[in-house]
Structure 1
Amino acid sequence: MNRILLICLLFSGFCFAQKATVADLEIKLEPGATEELMYGFAAGDRVIFNITPNGAPVSEITVMQYPDVVKYRGQEIKKEEKNEFTVTDKSVFVFKFTNKAKGKRSCKVMLQRVAKNADTKNFNTAVKWATVQDTVYNALTKDVVAGYDTLRVQKTRRVIASEKKYEELVLDKSQRVNAKTSLGDTKAAVAFTLPVNSTSKDETKKVVAWAYWVGVGEESNEFWKQNRKLIVEGVKGVATYFTSPLGGVAAGALTSLALPVNGEDVQYALVNEFNSTLFFKDKAYKAYDDGKGIAAYKRFTDATLLQGKFYMVLANDNYIQPLDVNVKVSAIIEHIKYKDEKYMDTTITPRYEKKIVREPQIVTTKIPVTFDYK
Structure 2
Amino acid sequence: MNRILLICLLFSGLCFGQKTTVADLEIKLEPGATEELMYGFAAGDRVIFILEPNGAPVTEVTVLQYPDVVKYRNQEIKKEEKNEFTVTDKSVFVFKFVNKAKGKRSCNILVQRVAKNADTRNFNTAVKWVTVQDTVYTSVTKDAVAGYDTLHVQKNRRVIALQKKYEEAVLDKTQRVNAKSSLAETKAAVSFTLPVNSITKDETKKVVAWAYWVGVGKESNEYWNQNRKSIVEGVKGVASYFTTPLGGVAAGVVANLAIPAIGEDIQYALVNEFNSKLFFQDKTYKSYDEGKGTAAYKRFTDATMLQGKFYMALANDNLVQPVDVNVKVSAIIEHIKYKDEKYTDTTITPRYEKKIIREPQIVTSKIPVTFDYNNRTL
Q: 2:144 is aligned with what amino acid?
A: V
Gaps of 5+ in 2: none
TM-score (norm 2): 0.81
Given the superposition, is the C-alpha separation of residues 173 and 73 from structure 1 closer, same or farther in structure 2, using an over 3 Å criterion? same
How far apart are 1:187 and its partner, in Å? 5.4
- Map of 1:44-83 to 2, 5 A cutoff? 44-83=44-83
Q: 1:152 is aligned with what amino acid?
A: H
Q: Deviations over 1:65-112 (max 9, x none)?
A: 111222222233221111222333333221122334455433222222
Q: Deviations over 1:211-254 (max 9, x none)?
A: 21111112222333444455775555554433333113222444
Given the superposition, is the C-alpha separation of residues 81 and 283 from structure 1 closer, same or farther in structure 2, using an over 3 Å criterion? farther
Given the superposition, is the C-alpha separation of residues 198 and 112 from structure 1 closer, same or farther in structure 2, using an over 3 Å criterion? farther
Output the CA distance in 2 between the equivalents of 1:259 and 1:39.
Answer: 108
Gaps of 5+ in 1: none
Q: Deviations over 1:10-44 (max 9, x none)?
A: 65665565443332333333445433222223334
**1:145 counterpart residue number:** 145
**1:360 counterpart residue number:** 360
SS of residue in 2 equivalent to 1:214: strand
Given the superposition, is the C-alpha separation of residues 174 and 5 from structure 1 closer, same or farther in structure 2, using an over 3 Å criterion? farther
Given the superposition, is the C-alpha separation of residues 279 and 126 from structure 1 closer, same or farther in structure 2, using an over 3 Å criterion? farther
Which one is further off, 7-16 or 27-36?
7-16
- Map of 1:1-374 to 2, 5 A cutoff? 14=14, 17-116=17-116, 120-183=120-183, 190=190, 192=192, 194-195=194-195, 197=197, 199-228=199-228, 237-270=237-270, 291-301=291-301, 305-306=305-306, 312-373=312-373
Given the superposition, is the C-alpha separation of residues 163 and 126 from structure 1 closer, same or farther in structure 2, using an over 3 Å criterion? same
Output the CA distance in 1 between the equivalents of 2:297 and 2:331.
Answer: 13
Q: Deviations over 1:332-362 (max 9, x none)?
A: 1112222332211111122222222222121
How far apart are 1:119 and its partner, in Å? 5.2
Q: 2:133 is aligned with what amino acid?
A: Q
Given the superposition, is the C-alpha separation of residues 332 and 110 from structure 1 closer, same or farther in structure 2, using an over 3 Å criterion? same
TM-score (norm 1): 0.81
Given the superposition, is the C-alpha separation of residues 167 and 16 from structure 1 closer, same or farther in structure 2, using an over 3 Å criterion? same
Q: 1:298 is aligned with what amino acid?
A: K
User: Is the 8 Å Cα contact of residues 178 and 185 (structure 2) preserved in structure 1?
Assistant: yes
Which one is further off, 101-110 or 300-309?
300-309
Which one is further off, 105-114 or 338-347?
105-114
How far apart are 1:196 and its partner, in Å? 5.1
Output the CA distance in 1 between the equivalents of 2:198 and 2:126.
Answer: 89
Which one is further off, 360-369 or 288-297?
288-297
Q: Percent identity?
A: 83
Which one is further off, 73-82 or 23-32?
23-32
Given the superposition, is the C-alpha separation of residues 308 and 58 from structure 1 closer, same or farther in structure 2, using an over 3 Å criterion? farther
Output the CA distance in 2 between the equivalents of 1:251 and 1:186.
Answer: 34
